[in-house]
Amino acid sequence: IMTDEPVTKKTKTNGEATEDYVPKNIFLTGGAGFIASHAAILMCKKYPQYNIVVYDKLDYCSCRENLSELEDLPNFKFIKGDIASQDLVTYVFKEEKIDTVLHFAAQTHVDNSFGNSFAFTQANTYGTHVLLETAKNCDTIRRFVHVSTDEVYGEGESMDAKPMEEDHILEPTNPYAATKAGAEFLVKSYHRSFKLPCIITRGNNVYGPHQFPEKLIPKFINQLMRGRALTLHGDGSNTRNFLYVEDVARAFDVILHKGEVGHIYNIGGKNELPNIDVAKHLLRILGKSDEESSLITFVPDRKFNDLRYTINSSKLHELGWKEEMGWEEGLNKTVEWYKKYSGRYGNIEQALVAHPRIGM
């Protein structure tokens, strides 16, 4: 919890129906990317009365085609822009009468952060600061939802450690996570100092359609579809908790409408697997299990690779959200999407190497 002040928005408690937050004009950053494109699609289609302004600089890992099904909807608008461009952000806030910010835009690939971490500070920390300052000076803003990551907690103490709750100390272990933690502290400071109505989310690893193939699951799918061996970091024992992207989009729907200002919400699932098991699942789905010995290879690990992240999402469950997509079904849907849209991101050769450094 960011403050001790009374909750300003109520939801259903003790069987009594109370009022949810209702936005009108939403500024959604990073919306041509992975998770945010699914959030934009859900919001535009489910709430035709909301105006959704997607703001994205179209970096290497984002793509307008991720939003193609929204192009003809009257409540959708796309603006190409950088969150670090304060003049443009200010102009858009004013012209579109923005009352709600859903801030997804970020540099997110840990491998890249070991190469050129300055780009992460620029996008994740400075970019967030620009949005906060602009929102502070905009009298129509009523919600600022900042999308963070479970990586700000650092690695779990052991495989037996209790899932981390929202008040757990932040101990980021890589430059990416550190820039996200820095952004969180800025969000908290603007809430405390200027009463900006902020909410923070911290999510598990997400997978599904639209994800750029530098990340584990789409990289492995694309490597196998090209007849290449999988490149597992270290010994493949590091575990991650994987959550299907449409479940995550629904979580943001719930948090936007029912989340309490000044609060933090973990968004986690129950699919914790070692990376080597993910590799084996994909080999099976793609009919290559009999080639496991030749298709699973081990490469040097990252500079530092967190053993596991495990978070407690009971606070979000209390708002009415639950994970719906099973691991097997979600993985199958993801494989089928990449088979159909393998050319979505053009030439992805650089993303399929063991330690990609794209855009750096």
- Scanning the structure block, which residue is given the tokens 């084996």? 280
Which is the catalytic residue, given 150, 214, 246, 260? 150
Please confirm, yes or no, whether 328 is among the known catalytic residues: no
Alpha helices in the chain (DSSP H): 34-46, 86-95, 110-115, 118-120, 127-136, 175-194, 216-225, 245-258, 275-285, 292-295, 314-317, 327-340
Please confirm, yes or no, whether 150 is among the known catalytic residues: yes
What is the helix (H) or strand (E) element at residue 54, kind and residue range?
A: strand 51-56
Q: What Rg do the C-alpha atoms of the chain give, in angstroms?
A: 20
Which is the catalytic residue, given 21, 176, 190, 265? 176
Of 210, 209, 197, 232, the closest CA to residue 101 belongs to: 197
Q: What is the number of alpha carbons within 13 Å of residue 322 lying toward its C-beta?
A: 4
Which is the catalytic residue, given 151, 166, 260, 306? 151
Q: How far apart are CA 346 and CA 208, in angstroms?
A: 18
Per-residue b/e over 259-292, b at no fewer than 16 CB within 10 Å? bbbbbbbbbbbebbbbbbebbbbbbebbeeeeee
Please confirm, yes or no, whether 20 is among the known catalytic residues: no
Strand-pair partners of 239: 274
Residues tagged active-site: 150-151, 176
